[in-house]
Structure 1
Amino acid sequence: MLEPEHGPMMQVEHTHTRCWVCVLSCLLLACLYVGSLYVWRSSLPRDHPSMIKRRCASVLLVSALSPAVVKAWMHWADVRVDASVWELMGVRLEGLVPAAVLPLLLTMVHQGVSTQIQLYRKDVFYLGPMVHSAIDNPQGFTGELQSALDFIFTDVQSWRLCVRDAVWLRNQVVAPVTEELVFRGAMLPMLVPCTGPTAAIFTAPLFFGVAHFHHIIEQRRLRKDSMSAILMVSGMQFLYTTVFGAFTAFIFMRTGHVVGPVLCHSFCNSQGLPDISSALQHPQQSALLFSYLMGVLLFLVLLFPLTDTFFYGAIPVCSLVAPPASAC
């Protein structure tokens, strides 16, 4: 008689406890990731090659440990699904090619694509940014496209320069891979059973955004700006990293792959934020603003078609929630 009477209450209590463990596990991963950057005591700036190598080693180690955290959570929460930990984290073969190509194409449509990165680049953009670049290029779109193809397929020297640059490797390879694996691949499977897939898309990026506040420590140590300026910059960074994190979380939930978020992350790191202020001051202002607007509209129109599960098969992370799951 007592078991049926108290069963539902105990089940609710267990669910609340499990949710707290999910949140604390995500917080632990975020703290491990950021904390690993500061285990190396040094007065060197963050962009010094030696510091970059040490920090890359630290975050790669945390990323390698993240599947163990997910596995421990599955054991504690008694989660049993027909998928491995790696599959839940988006590391799988089914639908790999479209998962790599389509989300990146979607991101390019919205923001633009660069043919070279950091110090070694000539820019070619799609839609708004591409129109901006083509207008300023005497050879127009043809010249921009040729520059892109030359860099991708024949400019071996530029690729060598990029690969040898520690800053490039951090921004384009290590940071996208490790951050997406930890903040999307590991956190979303733990959050989904507790919050549901849609809420998880907007919850996981908060950990990602807050994690970037560690740059305040760097800025204060270097004493380059006032505290108010540092906080304002950090607030803006929190805003756009959280928005971007929601986008890549959406990609992860819709495709079941981590490769799409990684490539989109790497691409956006190479681009930075769109230079709207430059477009506003350009002689062809109306045409540029129209092309930027068209890019945003196309992004919204293609968002769901290009992330349709038809291209990617069954999504392992969606097996953690009972249907219907709107984000899946």
Structure 2
Amino acid sequence: MESSAVELSQLSPLISVGCCFILSIIYVSSLYVWNSDQNRDHPSTVKRRFFSVFIVMLLSPAFVYKFSLGAKVFKDVTLAAILGFRTEGFLLATIVPILLTSLLFLGPLVAQAFNESWRVSVSHNNWLNNFTNVLWLRNFLVAPLSEEFTFRACMMPLLLQSFTPSTAVLITPLFFGVAHFHHMIERLRSGMDMKTAIIISCFQFTYTTIFGFYSAYLFVRTGHFVAPFVAHAFCNHMGFPDINDVILHKNYMRYVLIALYVTGLVLWILVLPVATTPSFYANNLYWKT
């Protein structure tokens, strides 16, 4: 049973949702404070945005400190613990989300095994090159780190004072999905027509929102920031499943991959609530019974 929102509420829904809205605006706005004609993938743009989002990460906890520290639901809890930085259950919270997300990507992972593209990902030279590549650092380190910190670690504690855990999990991904609409601005700047930009942006909104549900669920169930962070980084690594890759395989292999796609999804749905049992992670803060 989830804790009662009435018993735990310290903030009105208007304040908690309003704070999350402000955090979303601050995060997205920070990406556009620099006056530059370069596109989002230009090294200078990427480095400036690194600086911007790290400033946002320094400011965002102020909302949690102001409205959460000392509240009834978080009584005698440190700010670090509220944000999901704890030692109890940390190792499990790091490993389990990777395994769960691997299950979700069972089909694509098997496809990579057959075409041996995985060899490039695990090669020593590839990893050395990655850490000097600002685009790799953005996609697999800085973006997951800053987005999960802002949209999960700082927003969830605010929402959990006004809503039940399940409701909070449903609300926060909407901020995350809408925040990704800013990419439409850059698509239009690059010369893409409005219709195509809207379609792509709506598609991106859909899958980022769906991922947001998963990420928020991991955070509230484990009580650890590292859980959604590693899941986010892994999803960025895998990318959206390449359906064309399935179609290009020979008949029997095509059906095997389709079966693995479906099997992985079904198993993920079944295993997720069990593998994220709060007691496994010493989480008696966000998901009480």
> Scaled by the length of structure 2, what TM-score is found?
0.90
Moved more, 64-73 or 23-32: 64-73
> 2:110 and 2:286 mapped to 1: Cα distance?
39
Deviation for aligned residue 1:76 = 9.8
Aligned counterpart, 1:4 = none
Aligned counterpart, 1:7 = none
Aligned counterpart, 2:259 = 290
Aligned counterpart, 1:276 = 243
Are 1:133 and 2:133 matched, yes or no? no
For residue 75 of structure 2, the aligned residue among 64, 69, 81 is 81
> 1:70 and 1:136 mapped to 2: Cα distance?
47
For residue 126 of structure 2, the aligned residue among 158, 161, 166 is 158
> 2:205 and 2:10 mapped to 1: Cα distance?
28
Aligned residue for 2:76, secondary structure, equals coil
Aligned counterpart, 1:210 = 178
> 1:132 and 1:34 mapped to 2: Cα distance?
35
Aligned counterpart, 2:147 = 179
Q: Which has the larger radius of gyration?
A: 1
Alignment of 1:29-178 (within 5 A): 29-74=23-68, 80-111=74-105, 127-136=106-115, 147=119, 152=122, 155-178=123-146
Aligned counterpart, 1:124 = none
Q: Identify unmatched segments of 5+ residues in structure 2.
A: 1-5
Equivalent AA in structure 2 for residue 187 of structure 1: M
Alignment of 1:221-260 (within 5 A): 221-223=189-191, 225-260=192-227
Contact 2:69 2:78 in 1 (8 A): no
Are 1:308 and 2:277 matched, yes or no? yes
> Scaled by the length of structure 1, what TM-score is found?
0.80
> 1:301 and 1:110 mapped to 2: Cα distance?
11
Q: Identify unmatched segments of 5+ residues in structure 1.
A: 1-11, 112-126, 138-142
Deviation for aligned residue 1:57 = 0.7
Deviation for aligned residue 1:314 = 2.7
1:137-172 Cα distance to aligned partner (Å, 9 max, x none): 5xxxxx96xx38xx65xx432222100000000011
Contact 2:74 2:82 in 1 (8 A): no
Deviation for aligned residue 1:93 = 1.0
Aligned residue for 1:209, secondary structure, equals helix
> 1:248 and 1:80 mapped to 2: Cα distance?
21
Aligned residue for 1:106, secondary structure, equals helix
> 2:284 and 2:145 mapped to 1: Cα distance?
20
Deviation for aligned residue 1:128 = 1.6
Contact 2:176 2:212 in 1 (8 A): yes
For residue 169 of structure 2, the aligned residue among 189, 201, 205 is 201
> 1:16 and 1:70 mapped to 2: Cα distance?
12
> 2:79 and 2:70 mapped to 1: Cα distance?
14
